[in-house]
Amino acid sequence: MEIGSISFVVPEVVKNELIRLQNNPEKKQEIETTLNFIKKLKTISIQGNFADKELIEYVKNNRSIVGTMDRALKKQIKQEGSSILSFSQDKIILES
């Protein structure tokens, strides 16, 4: 099965939220690792104050696969008919 070309992008609202959360000592290491990884990816202009809300609005209007580990966000995205890309035990998982 061929799925076509894939582009990995980071919504600006997500990047901004990660930068704000970087001050949280409990998540600092995890967030720094994520920010280091996403700096290599193209940033797309999705604005707003709350990343989850903006991602849900985006998938309502655009066919896309969202990469997240957030269980609540995964559930909402699936309810909108989109798919999830996540990691589990060093494997990439695609959930519909």
State which fold the 9-95 domain adopts: Rossmann fold (3.40.50)
| Structure-block tokens of residue 33 | 């690792």
Confidence (pTM): 0.77
pLDDT at site 7 = 82
The rounded mean pLDDT for the chain is 88
Q: How far apart are CA 71 and CA 65, in angstroms?
A: 15
pLDDT in tens, 59-91: 999 888 998 888 999 999 999 999 998 888 888
Domain regions of the chain by residue span: 9-95
- Joined together, the tokens standing for residue 77 give 């995205």
Residue indicated by tokens 């996403």: 38
Q: Is the pLDDT of residue 41 over 70?
A: yes
